[in-house]
Structure 1
Amino acid sequence: MCLASMQVSTPHAHLNSTRGNKTSWILLEYMKPFLLNILYLKNPLYIYIYICYKNVLMDNDADFFWSTVGLKSWKLCLFQISKWICPSAPTRQVTLFGGYPCTAWFNVESMSEDACDDLEGLDASATHVANLLSNEPDDVKLGIAGFSIGAAVALYSATCRAVGQYGNGNRYPINLSATVALSGWLPTSRNLRNRVGASQEAARRTASLPTLLCHGQVDDVVDCKIGEKSAQTMYSAGFQNLTFRTYNRLGHYTIIEEINDVCSWLIACLGA
């Protein structure tokens, strides 16, 4: 096992911000991701993981500590995995936090189902994640996983893969083999069934994509009912290969039991 650096250019995204009659452009910078390589493995699974503790107002040291412990905790399935790409979200103002600048994949107005989705921010982040995986060989398996708002990007990416395009209509470029969402929710859920039902090919991809959602029953940041509603929405839209699990006394963090369940799920659905 070795820890390798990845030489990549730092991508940027320009987002439109409209206030009153004035329109301005916001420059978002996506930082270089951490890259963990595991060598000499057969039938590799390439999986992207985003650890999103900064989005619940924890400091940088706690974020780095959680990501380090999280990677080490996945030892049950590391024998199948040859690369982990761990990107960081850009810093932006988040309405849910009163406009406080923090690392976030997209803007969140509220956790209500009636809240407007930041489709532009979602597309920008889903594109960034897909681009990190787009240069991998064609014969490897690709997966996206995330925690909290990172889980929301993972689930949004799953819907983009199913439909074959981003919300803006651009083609989704990669073939996902697995999606994992911990303590998150599904953005743009209101029109998912109509998007999936637009073509037989979209319905086929939706039914075949393995998807795992896990949630703590006492989550005080993203309520467990929101995660459950997301799972129900995806299943009713055609995500037949979907698993939803909850954990007693688990808040907005993760535990070894949950991590072990994710590892076992990955092994069961993807095989050796």
Structure 2
Amino acid sequence: MGNVMRNSAPPDKIAATHTAAGTESDFLAVLYDYPPSDISEPIFYFGEKLRVISDEGGWWRVVSLKTGRENYIPAKCVAKVYHGWLFDGVGREKSEQLLELPEVKTGSFMIRQSETKKGSYSLSVKHRQVKHYRIFRLPNNWYYISPRLTFQCLEHLVNHYSESADGLCCVLTTPCLTQQSVNIADVRQEVPVMRRKKPFNWRSMKRMSLAAEDPEPSVETDDSFLSYGLRQSIASYLSLAGDDSYSIPSTEHNKKQNRKSNIFSRNSVISDRSSYTEGYR
């Protein structure tokens, strides 16, 4: 058995790639709709790619690379993906479901931890159907699928079979779920339009009209929210402050208030007289 590394990138090139773009290719893959459809409309769907914003201890705060939607999702509903193709915590059944999604093309692949042997990996590839290949590990930590070809690391193995099938069902083309990658900056966020109300200028009170019956209040004054009692209080304050030139203009609103007050006073007097007469009799 020879240690052959045909058509593989030099170690220094691989290391440089990981340093520069490793974080960009790491993401979370949704393994279960969340929340379940029997509870409510899911926020995230199976097979969706998520970019991590923060780890909240058992929960991830994420943003979808497909829709741009931001929310929380429990850690048990997702799998960590490194380098774009190394899936952590994905079994055989889930790997087949992911590779059989409509947008996943032939030749798409993933490497996952083997369910049968701890410390070893499996290569899953989409062809006419999903094919699985055991990746064996030697005592010196080199890897191989076929005993005649061994590789120093998994990156070398992927590089080699991306250029030649060399016994596999087809050449490895793109990592699983790569087709979902989008630029979050290009996703239009629906932001509600907020209308800011102009702040009330108390210093302009002496120059503004406080009439409540004005059918078209001006934008500059915007006094439609002032009640009769509040205008009375403002006038009293300005009077105590020494501004005797200020007075509230006589308006129809004032007249109505005065009429109501007079009617109430007359009714009170009549009621008092009736009570007095009844008592006298």
The two structures have a TM-score, normalised by structure 1, of: 0.26
Q: Which protein is richer in strand relative to its size? A: 1
TM-score (norm 2): 0.25
Larger radius of gyration: 2
Higher-helix-fraction structure: 1
